[in-house]
Chain A
């Protein structure tokens, strides 16, 4: 028994070695990919499908799941809080885009070679490196009624202070301003790198042709910055739709839910003391995912074209 076992194993070993030799180039990629695909499937792909499936159920996270069909989605259509969140998401998306031109502007301002400019560049980038939790706390202090810098500034200019985070008319804008701070820094660094790669001979040639200022920027520089602009737009759109940390830190969705965005409303429905409505939360997440997919597909589509072009 033992003898035959060793013989077979020796035999298979020889076989596997031969098989491996012959096929290693078609097998190797799968071996290299195995850990990545396994982890990614378990924690990303499967949860996306599971969430979609869950959005058709009523579930508190512990008990039995009850099939609801489209009822969660039908309820969403009548839910004012959902519309508030959606509306705020649109405001986020539109205003967050300011980070792209603002980032370009700061990059142009800093694109010089005076002494110490490298330190300036890294200090301008600073807000991006710190956590959104810290950014949120910093801006809460900045807006704080009675003593916040911003509150006092407004009081000094207009005579009355504005408690930005407690006022449902301004709260979303106040949070977006906090979000723009690191986002402008991010776009700035993308553009600074882009500006480094602008062909100097083209700039010189355009200069000889009399192009200056805006004309030069629009016709010569911006076309060359297109890759940087593309990435800046992508990360800004994703960042706007993903916004959660700042809303959670600065207002917790308040006052009266007026600063909620979809990502925060989903969390509130699924996990906060108000809810444990996992199915309803999942339905909100599916809608957010669908909105995001419009942008992700566009992004992937462009990448596929680039890949084919290479």
Chain B
């Protein structure tokens, strides 16, 4: 272990370390804590210039106001409507293509694999105009379906990379012996490999959920109205309307950040495993 375990350090260092931890955390999260506190301040506090002090009372009504005075509820529902099908679609496609690239040897294998990998890193701007045109010409512009379809396609690059590496790590003898038994390729996928992919599916789902929930660029390029915009794009337009009403901006930000944060805390193990797959091997 590096650095040396703190239990082996002098008592003074140990105390210092245990004090440093919360101090560092508060400094690290200071902007966020400030926003959380502002979200609970009554507007009179802000008007009176009380930006730093504690709220004179906890104005949970800010949160209610955000819901009653803005379409944030519908933005959030839109976000779910885009995110859930994307997670299912991208992960399903990636299970199939990841299996193909991990298990079979054929000429184009590495070429296709690296196309997926490279495509995953391109700047969004090079896709923007054609993707927008495509969505307009198919009548899917400013629809949730149009946005979700693009996300499915784009995320399948990263997801395939992830699944392929995961399946490569599975014991190949299982597949070999099934083949000797005469089990068909589809059955091998469905009954042997898919059940083993469960942890990867969980990890990938959490990650893709966060990525798509937090997407802002495509939301602004492919959707324009409150009926279709996800919460990231919606929050930006609300920010324009709530000039100087920081208590509402703050409450709205916290509401928008909640679902991925909850997802992260509930599925932490999978989330981190997903994020760091590949960082630890090779």
Binding site for B on A (CB under 8 A): 24-26, 28-30, 32-33, 35-37, 39-40, 42-48, 50-51, 54, 61, 108-109, 111-114, 117, 120, 122-127, 129-134, 137-139, 141-142, 144, 147, 149, 152, 181, 186, 189-190, 193-198, 200, 203, 216-217, 220-221, 227-228, 231-232, 238, 241-242, 244-245, 248-249, 262-263, 266-267, 270-271, 278, 281-282, 284-286, 288-289, 292, 295-296, 299-300, 303-304, 306-307
Contacts and interface: CB of A to CB of B under 8 A. Distances in A.
B130 to A, nearest CB: 4
Given A37-B112, A39-B156, A42-B153, A141 B18 contact: no
A47 B268 contact: no
Interface in B195-209: none
Contacts of A28: 100, 104, 185-186
A126 B36 CA distance: 14
Contacts of B150: 43
12 contacts: A29-B109, A36-B94, A46-B130, A47-B128, A123-B29, A133-B233, A137-B35, A141-B250, A147-B49, A249-B236, A249-B239, A281-B128
A64 to B, nearest CB: 14
Interface string B26-57: 00111110110010000000000101100000
A132 B256 CA distance: 11
Contact of A217 (B2, B109, B121, B253): B2
Interface in B92-145: 93-94, 96-97, 99-101, 103-104, 106, 109-110, 112, 114-119, 121-134
Nearest to A53: B130
Identify which of A111, A186, A232 gathers the most chain B CB atoms within 10 Å of its CB.
A111
B125 A126 contact: no
A123 B25 contact: yes
Contact of B126 (A117, A126, A288): A288
Contact of B1 (A42, A124, A194, A203): A203
B216 A132 contact: yes
A72 to B, nearest CB: 13
Interface residues of B, number: 99
A143 B20 CA distance: 26
A245 B93 contact: no
Given A36-B94, A134-B256, A289-B126, 12 more contacts: A24-B185, A122-B265, A126-B29, A129-B210, A129-B257, A133-B216, A227-B281, A241-B123, A244-B125, A285-B123, A285-B128, A289-B123
Contacts of B52: 149, 152
B279 interface: yes
A266 B125 contact: yes
B123 to A, nearest CB: 5
Given A29-B106, A142-B34, A189-B275, A50 B156 contact: no
Contacts of A303: 114, 117
Nearest to A279: B129
A293 B21 CA distance: 41
B5 A134 contact: no
A39 to B, nearest CB: 4
Given A231-B278, A304-B110, A134 B3 contact: no
Chain B interface helix/strand/loop/mixed:
helix
Interface of B: 1-3, 5-7, 17-18, 20-21, 24-25, 28-32, 34-35, 38, 49, 51-52, 93-94, 96-97, 99-101, 103-104, 106, 109-110, 112, 114-119, 121-134, 149-150, 152-154, 156-157, 160, 184-186, 189, 210, 213-214, 216-217, 220-221, 232-233, 235-236, 239, 246, 249-250, 253, 256-257, 260-261, 264-265, 268, 272, 275-276, 278-282
B213 A32 contact: no
B189 A292 contact: no
Identify which of A29, A194, A221 gathers the most chain B CB atoms within 10 Å of its CB.
A29
Please provide the 3 A-B residue pairs with the shortest distance between their CB atoms, ordered closest to farther.
Answer: A36-B97, A43-B153, A47-B130
A174 to B, nearest CB: 12
A220 B221 CA distance: 48
B280 A194 contact: yes
A189 to B, nearest CB: 6
B226 to A, nearest CB: 16
Contacts of B133: 61
A114 B282 CA distance: 30
A194 to B, nearest CB: 7
A110 B281 CA distance: 22
A51 B24 contact: no
Given A44-B157, A127-B32, A141-B31, A248 B121 contact: no
Contacts of A113: 5-7
A48 B128 contact: no
Contacts of B1: 111, 195, 198, 200, 203
A263 B186 CA distance: 43
A227 B279 contact: yes
A127 B214 CA distance: 12
Contacts of B217: 244-245
A285 B125 contact: yes
A33 B153 contact: no
Contacts of B279: 190, 193-194, 227-228, 231-232
B282 A304 contact: no
